[in-house]
Homo-oligomer: A and B are copies of this chain.
Amino acid sequence: MASKERIQRLKEETRINILDAALHIVKEEGWQALSMRKIADVIEYTAPIIYEYFANKEAILLELTRKGYLILTRDLQEVRAKHESPAKQLEAMWLAYWDFAMENKELYQLMFGVEMNCCCDMVATLEESEGPYNEFSQAIIELMHIKNPTKDMVCLKYYTFWSVVHGLISINILRRGYSDEMNQQVLKDAIGTIIKSIERA
């Protein structure tokens, strides 16, 4: 009865194919162009088949969102491990956050609703979505020389970082045209300023 397992593996493969196909279409033609029938075309099936792997289109988006959070969290962890001081960690992590967004524009759009009607209410239910915050908040706490900072204090600093970086990214995805130098300058300036404000406190 090893065929059961083989079939199981094939099913798993098709599931992955669906997700890959979706992302492929989006990278080629944008989120607006993604449809169930197009996905079916790519995986060489008809549309209803997809509903045996995902409850609906939103479920596919949610799974891709999850994937995005996993990649981002892994990137942040990797970069964080490369640095000793929390200040350098934080700077490198936010730059990695930027890089993730630029290298995975489509996933970023999906995760944070940039020029896209994402599945935001559902995202809140994904535990993976807490990955980035966990990484950042640890580094923030280390950087603070207060013994037991309240969650609100940490959250406030994270929120400050996140706002400016996410804002910068959103604007760049929206209206491409700002030069790389300007982006890097604003990005590093802002990150540096916030880090200093944490160190001073």
Interface residues of A (CB under 8 A from B): 31-32, 112-118, 120, 124, 152, 155-156, 159-160, 162-168, 170-171, 174-175, 178, 182, 185-186, 189-190, 193, 197
Tell which of B32, B156, B167 touches A165, judged by Cβ atoms closer than 8 Å.
Answer: B167
Q: How many copies does the complex hold?
A: 2
A121 to chain B: closest residue by CB: B175
Q: Known contacts being A156-B186, A182-B155, A193-B193, is A174 close to B113, with CB within 8 Å?
A: yes
Contact status B117-A31, CB under 8 Å? yes
Tell me how far the C-beta of A3 lies from the nearest C-beta in chain B, rounded to whole angstroms. Answer: 44
Using known A-B contacts A113-B114, A115-B117, A152-B182, determine if residue A166 contacts B160 with beta carbons closer than 8 Å.
Answer: no
Chain B nearest Cβ from A195, distance in angstroms: 12
Report Cα–Cα, A186/B8, bound state, in Å. 50
> Are A189 and B175 within 8 A (Cβ)?
no
Q: 28 A-B Cβ contacts within 8 A?
A: A31-B117, A112-B174, A113-B114, A114-B114, A114-B170, A115-B116, A116-B116, A116-B117, A117-B117, A120-B174, A120-B175, A124-B175, A155-B182, A156-B182, A156-B186, A159-B178, A159-B182, A159-B186, A160-B186, A163-B164, A163-B167, A163-B168, A163-B186, A165-B167, A166-B167, A166-B170, A167-B167, A193-B197
